[in-house]
Amino acid sequence: MDLLVVGSGFFGLTIAERAASAGRRVTVIDRRPHIGGNAYSEDDPDTGIEVHRYGAHLFHTSTPAVWEYVNRFTAFTPYVHRVYTTHRGVVYPLPISLGTINQFFQAAYTPDQARALVREQAGEFDPQRAANLEERAIGLIGRPLYEAFIRDYTAKQWQTDPKDLPAEVISRLPVRYSYDNRYFNDTWEGLPVDGYTAWLERMADHPRIEVRLETDFFDRTQPLHKQAVVGQVPVVYTGPLDRYFDEAEGELSWRTLDFARDVLETGDFQGTSVMNYADADVPYTRIHEFRHFHPERADRYPRDRTVIVREYSRFATREDEPYYPVAAPADRARVLAYRERASLEPDVHFGGRLGTYQYLDMHMAIGSALSMWQNRLA
Ligand code: FAD
Ligand code: UDP
């Protein structure tokens, strides 16, 4: 073995695939019983509809090198992601756009009029100088729209004062003064034609890649555990940053999700793939209806049944899957201490969403793995 990769998500598999293609022998371990990390998907046993087990995953990128790379393993459908939100019993388009603004204010503003209105309502903060999520959001869309669509959803998603959340979290969502309601601004987007798992398996399908599942890096009873390999062989580690160091600098805070799945006796529950719930009195943040991600499979999917998943967010305990880095002020100091420790580890390279404690999308995880391979490992 020339390289050990801990974690078979997109970061780990990209490193493994690049290294194997360059002639290295790679072992990938993952503590879960399947590869693919959080992008893993499977056919729902009752309906045959593809369900993303760890929450809906939409691929999008504007980076040519990433788009070229991912197309080696899968083709993409022309799916364009659109999200709606329900606020006080009325459905609005997201992200905040002219459609949302006119519906909310019961008006017919032109783009210039809507801009002028929002500028007036947003005057208290300059979004460029915003120190946190609340200031950035109010600076971008003004207080009334913030209170309707962002404040309570964010409270459910993070249970953290929006003044303590990084401004970048809200910068994920564009604000548009047109009726364009694509959720992403990226050049390319789509879903893998034969599903995420087929894509992930093709990345791992190489004679020089060995995958060992249900193998925990910290389990001393398995031969490739931390104490046995660090310093002996190069390691790429994509598990949680704090866990690698036994939380020596304190625990980093993560959000986890609970998914409540229901099979319903209807061919269409909500008419769209994702419906957000903006209000505090609805305990979940959003409902996914997975059949709508693949309209091209309509003939294969049942006409009289559908599968929906409600998403509930809460703080992760040590037993839970960590999904979202909270990155509140206390975390930011700890992360710096962990990064310092990480830089001292002999030939251990930390990557991915968990390993760097960063809110990375798939294209970012793949892009940073390609860079790590080229700049540090090749
Ligand atoms: P992961 O996929 O988390 O993989 C890490 C792997 O390491 C896991 O398989 C884990 O089991 C393994 N591991 C951890 N600890 C150990 C250990 N001790 N020993 C062995 N193995 C270990 N991105 C998008 O682009 N679009 C989306 O729509 C999108 N939606 C998302 C929705 C949710 C709910 C979440 C959580 C993420 C979403 N993402 C989305 C982000 C996407 O999941 C990540 O960018 C991508 O999975 C990052 O891959 P990764 O390899 O860094 O991490
Ligand atoms: N957000 C919100 N209302 C919404 C959708 C998003 O307030 O209807 C905020 C919320 O703080 C969320 C962030 O915008 O965490 C990023 O949203 P995104 O949909 O990108 O989150 P993800 O899909 O990663 O959970």
User: Could you read off the pLDDT of 1-51 as tens digits, one per residue?
Assistant: 999 999 999 999 999 999 999 999 999 999 999 999 999 999 999 999 999
* Of the candidates 350, 354, 344, the residue with the CA atom closest to the CA atom of residue 369: 350
Whether the ipTM is more than 0.90: the answer is yes
Looking at residues 184-204, what average pLDDT do you find?
98
Q: Which ligand is nearest to the CA of 285?
A: 2
State the residue range of the domain holding 156: 94-179
Q: What is the DSSP letter of 231?
A: T
The verdict on 39 and 9 lying in the same domain is yes
Pocket probe mutation, ligand 2, options 172, 293, 364, max atoms within 8 Å of Cβ: 172
b/e burial code for range 218-229 (CB count within 10 A of at least 16 → b): eeeeeebbbeeb
The verdict on 134 and 31 lying in the same domain is no
Q: With a 6 A CB cut-off, is 209 part of the ligand 2 pocket?
A: no
Tell me whether residue 317 is in a domain. Answer: no
177, burial (CB in 10 Å: exposed 0-12, middle 13-18, buried 19+): middle
Among candidate residues 132, 158, 179, the one where a domain is terminated: 179
Tell me whether residue 113 is in a domain. Answer: yes
Among candidate residues 160, 179, 198, the one where a domain is terminated: 179
Beta-bridge partners for 27:
4, 210
Residue 295, pLDDT score:
97
Tell me whether residue 362 is in a domain. Answer: yes
Tell me whether residue 162 is in a domain. Answer: yes
Tell me whether residue 175 is in a domain. Answer: yes
pLDDT tens column, 220-255: 999 999 999 999 999 999 999 999 999 999 999 999
The verdict on 197 and 173 lying in the same domain is no
The verdict on 69 and 111 lying in the same domain is no
Q: To the nearest whole percent, how much of the chain has pLDDT over 90? A: 97
CA dist., res. 36 & res. 217, Å (int)? 16
* Of the candidates 315, 304, 269, the residue with the CA atom closest to the CA atom of residue 288: 269
Among candidate residues 130, 151, 179, the one where a domain is terminated: 179
Q: With a 6 A CB cut-off, is 274 part of the ligand 2 pocket?
A: no
Tell me whether residue 278 is in a domain. Answer: no
CA dist., res. 160 & res. 282, Å (int)? 18
Count of structural domains within the chain: 2
Residue 123, pLDDT score:
86
- State which ligand 1 atom lies nearest to the alpha carbon of 38: 2
Residue indicated by tokens 């002996």: 232
Beta-bridge partners for 188:
61
The verdict on 329 and 234 lying in the same domain is yes
Q: With a 6 A CB cut-off, is 285 part of the ligand 2 pocket?
A: no
Catalytic center residues? 172, 176, 255, 286, 311, 359, 361
The verdict on 115 and 244 lying in the same domain is no
Tell me whether residue 68 is in a domain. Answer: yes
CA dist., res. 14 & res. 365, Å (int)? 9
Q: How confident is the model at residue 116 (pLDDT cuts 50, 70, 90)?
A: very high
The verdict on 231 and 329 lying in the same domain is yes
- Give me ligand 2 centre to Cα 329, in Å: 20
Q: To the nearest whole percent, how much of the chain has pLDDT over 70? A: 100
- Give me ligand 2 centre to Cα 29, in Å: 31
Q: Which ligand is nearest to the CA of 225?
A: 1
Tell me whether residue 130 is in a domain. Answer: yes
The verdict on 109 and 175 lying in the same domain is yes
DSSP state string for 273-320: SEEEE-STTSSSSEEEEGGGG-GGGTTTS-SS-EEEEEEEEEE--TTS
Element (H, E) at 118: helix 111-121
The verdict on 98 and 175 lying in the same domain is yes
CATH number at 360 reads 3.40.50.720
Note whether 38 and 44 are within 8 A (CB): no
Q: Tokens in use for 323?
A: 């999904």
The verdict on 123 and 232 lying in the same domain is no
The verdict on 150 and 230 lying in the same domain is no
Q: With a 6 A CB cut-off, is 276 part of the ligand 2 pocket?
A: yes
- State which ligand 1 atom lies nearest to the alpha carbon of 54: 34
Q: Tokens in use for 39?
A: 């992008």
The verdict on 133 and 12 lying in the same domain is no
Q: What is the pTM of this model?
A: 0.97
Protein residue with its CA nearest to atom 10 in ligand 2? 154
Residue 196, pLDDT score:
98
Statement: residue 124 has pLDDT above 90 = no
Looking at residues 187-213, what average pLDDT do you find?
98
Statement: residue 341 has pLDDT above 90 = yes
Q: Which of 73-82, 197-206, 290-299, 319-328 has the lowest mean pLDDT?
A: 319-328
